[in-house]
Amino acid sequence: MSTAQSLGVTTDTGNSAAPRENVILIHCHDVGRHLACYGATGVESPHLDSLAANGIRFTAAHATAPLCSPARGSIFTGRYPHSNGLIGLAHHGFEYRDGVRTLPGLLGDVGYRTALFGMQHESADPGDLGFDTVDVADTSCDPVVERAGAWLADHVHVSDERPFFLTAGFFEAHRPYPSDQYPPADPATVTVPGFLPDSADVRDDLAALQGSIARADAAVGRLLDVVTDLGLDESTWIIFFTDHGLAFPRAKSTLYETGTGIALIARPPRRRNVLPHTYDDLFSGVDLTPTILDLLSVPVPDRIDGVSHAEPLLTEVETPARTEVFTEKTYHDAFDPIRAVRTQEFSYIENFTDRPTLLLPLDIADSASARAVDHTAADAPRPRYELYDLLDDPGERTNLADDPTHAETRRLLAATLEDWRSRTGDLIPEEHEGNAVAEGFRAR
């Protein structure tokens, strides 16, 4: 049996006789991999679990950055934050550089109708993002799905020859989690992740988060029902992703896996006859745009940092599309430059300024979970270099950077990181410059 047959692939969309496929991107805030299909227990996510069971679940996907705008900017441009210019939050004044092309713009060039509903966090003016239709009046999941579904019903028919690209962005599960809007889960059913203390406050905080996730999951289910009712399952890619890790201490805003690890689920058009499976190779946020373009037989521009995973996604090739992922942070609520490279075996992190071990963004610093952490450890100085053996220490707790038995590993990963920074033009501001910029957006 050939590799293509082993995954059940029978449709070649590169054939000029086959019409181009549609794409629906659904994305959430601050969820990381906190879903039942990724092993989180006590989480109600039946619709996303079903999507994963009937599609392709990525087990090693990472955001390029552990905060919203830079992570999303990479997903929609295929370029790292320092390459596309979006190195901090859009509402702090950061924007794409002139000339940066976005996925909706690239698809619009080849005839796609493009529509944005709900959340975006890439620009102060969503009209600049390359969509034909923009509706960001309400970013809560329920109205987003209602309006996206209405657009599909009004503008899309199975007989249409012109394909579409639709983005549905949810505010959920960003903090806060008001109980009147998101009935919390039972704290007794919550499984506390290993990077958090198991206390009543943390359990209550996680229960509130899971109420928000349940609401978003139900909305995903309704949107998928619309797709089915309109007969679009045969011709439409459904892609769900989260932007970065949970808004909890030692997750969001860090370059540990808990900060950059994301859920990514893709359900191919049914006419492709792709068998459900997991995709275990490393995948970076910069890879989504070139992968989608490749899957749709649309040329990938030269000025793209990511690589396409289209072939290994649909055929069992032995060589992975990438052997490492690179992640970065420059600004969140403060100037905090960090860079990292991650392989399947090791994580190597360089911290470029003197900061506490946990520099919490404001939304996390105000949480019950932040009050529950050991602040003696959290406030201790952060090491300049960090190295973790992911096979023995997946939680990234034991720093081996100064361990002589791992000196060669550190040297090789440091060289790999430096080469990437050089190739992609990564220039980190001096501390006085970076702090001045951060003070400027805090003063607004």
Q: Are residues 162 and 198 in the same domain?
A: yes
Buried b (16+ CB within 10 A) or exposed e, 73-112: bbbbbbbbbbbbbbbbbbebebbbeeebbbbbbbbbeeeb
Q: Are 257 and 250 in contact (CB under 8 A)?
A: no
The domain boundary residue, chosen from 272, 294, 314? 314
Which pLDDT belongs to residue 110? 95
Q: Are residues 143 and 277 both part of a single domain?
A: yes
Reference 173, options 37, 70, 44; nearest CA is: 44
* Type of residue at 268: P
Give the pLDDT band (50/70/90) at residue 12: very low
Asked if 246 and 365 sit in the same domain, the reply is: no
Residues 166, 49 within the same domain: yes
- Whether pLDDT at 51 is above 50: yes
Task: Provide the CATH number for the domain around residue 339.
Answer: 3.30.1120.10
| Residue 103 scores a pLDDT above 70 | yes
Q: Where does the pLDDT of residue 4 fall: very low under 50, low under 70, confident under 90, or very high at 90 and above? A: very low
Rounded CA gap, 15 and 19, in Å? 8
Q: What percent of the chain has pLDDT over 70?
A: 95
| Listed residues 282, 314, 346: the one ending a domain | 314
Q: Mean pLDDT over all residues of the chain?
A: 93
Same domain? For 272 and 382 the reply is no
Structural domain boundaries, residue 421 = 325-442
- Cα separation of 26 and 240, whole Å? 5
Strand order across the beta sheet in which 346-351 lies: 325-331, 335-342, 346-351, 385-389
- Cα 422 to chain centroid distance, Å, stands at 24
pLDDT in tens, 134-156: 999 999 999 999 999 999 999 88
Under a CB-based contact definition with an 8 Å cutoff, are residues 258 and 340 in contact? no
Same domain, 285 and 182: yes
Asked whether residue 6 carries a pLDDT value surpassing 70, the answer given is: no
**CB-CB contact of 382 with 370 (8 Å):** no
Paired with 350 in beta bridges are: 339, 385
> pLDDT at residue 13 above 60?
no
Q: Which residue has the tokens 């960003």?
A: 174
C-alpha to C-alpha distance for 185 and 40, rounded to whole angstroms: 13
The residue behind tokens 């403060």 is: 334
Which sign, positive or negative, has the C-alpha torsion 275, 277, 281, 284? positive
> Which pair of tokens denotes residue 416?
């790999």
H, E, C per residue of 291-336:
HHHHHCCCCCCCCCCCCCCHHHHHCCCCCCCCCCEEEEEEECCCEE
Q: What is the mean pLDDT of residues 394-423?
A: 98
| Global pTM exceeds 0.85 | yes
Q: In whole angstroms, what is the distance from residue 131 CA to residue 102 CA?
A: 9
pLDDT single digits (tens) 306-351: 999 999 999 878 899 999 999 999 999 999 999 999 999 999 999 9
Return left, alpha or beta for 412; rule: phi > 0 is left, psi -120 to 50 is alpha, else beta: alpha
pLDDT for 150: 96
User: In terms of domains, do 166 and 212 share one?
Assistant: yes
**How many Å apart are CA 201 and CA 68, to the nearest integer?**
25
Does residue 197 fall inside a structural domain?
A: yes
Question: What per-residue confidence (pLDDT) applies to 16?
Answer: 42
Give the count of domains, the chain: 2
Residue 5 has pLDDT above 60, yes or no: no
Which pLDDT score, from 0 to 100, does residue 315 have?
86
SS3 label, residue 290: helix
Position 123 pLDDT exceeds 60? yes
Quote the CA–CA distance of 428 and 407 in Å, as a whole number.
25
Percent of the chain with pLDDT over 90: 89
Q: Round to the nearest angstrom and report the end-to-end CA distance of the chain.
A: 62
Band (pLDDT 50/70/90 cuts) for residue 74 is: very high
Please name the residue that has the structure tokens 């552990």. Answer: 66
Among 314, 335, 352, identify where a domain stops: 314
β-strands 385-389, 346-351 pairing: antiparallel
Q: Residue 242 sits in a domain of what CATH number?
A: 3.40.720.10
13 lies in a domain?
no
Which residues on adjacent β-strands are paired with residue 28? 242
In this structure, is residue 2 part of a structural domain? no
Q: Is residue 8 part of a domain?
A: no
Q: Indicate whether 10 pLDDT > 80.
A: no
Give the pLDDT score at 158. Answer: 67
Do residues 290 and 339 share a domain? no
Q: Are 135 and 166 contained in the same domain?
A: yes
pLDDT for the residue numbered 159:
65
Q: 39 with 299: CB under 8 angstroms?
A: no
Average pLDDT of the segment spanning 192-215: 96
Checking if the pLDDT of 1 tops 60, the result is: no
Report how far residue 370's alpha carbon sits from residue 365's, in angstroms, rounded to the nearest whole number.
6
Per-residue pLDDT tens over the stretch 280-301: 999 999 999 999 999 999 999 9
- Residues facing residue 351 across a β-bridge: 338
Please tell me whether residues 267 and 213 are part of one structural domain: yes
The Cα 14–Cα 341 span in angstroms is 34
Whether 56 and 268 have beta carbons less than 8 Å apart is answered as yes
Q: Do 26 and 220 contact (CB within 8 A), yes or no?
A: yes
Q: What is the pLDDT of residue 221?
A: 98
Instruction: Examine the domain organization and report whether 123 and 213 are in the same domain.
Output: yes
pLDDT (0 to 100) of residue 83: 97
pLDDT digits (tens, 9 = 90+) for 218-250: 999 999 999 999 999 999 999 999 999 999 999
- Check whether 89 has a pLDDT greater than 50: yes
On whether both 55 and 163 belong to a single domain, the answer is yes
> What are the pLDDT digits (tens) for 347-404?
999 999 999 999 999 999 999 999 999 888 889 999 999 999 999 999 999 999 999 9
Question: How far is residue 45's CA from residue 300's CA, in Å, rounded to a whole number?
Answer: 34
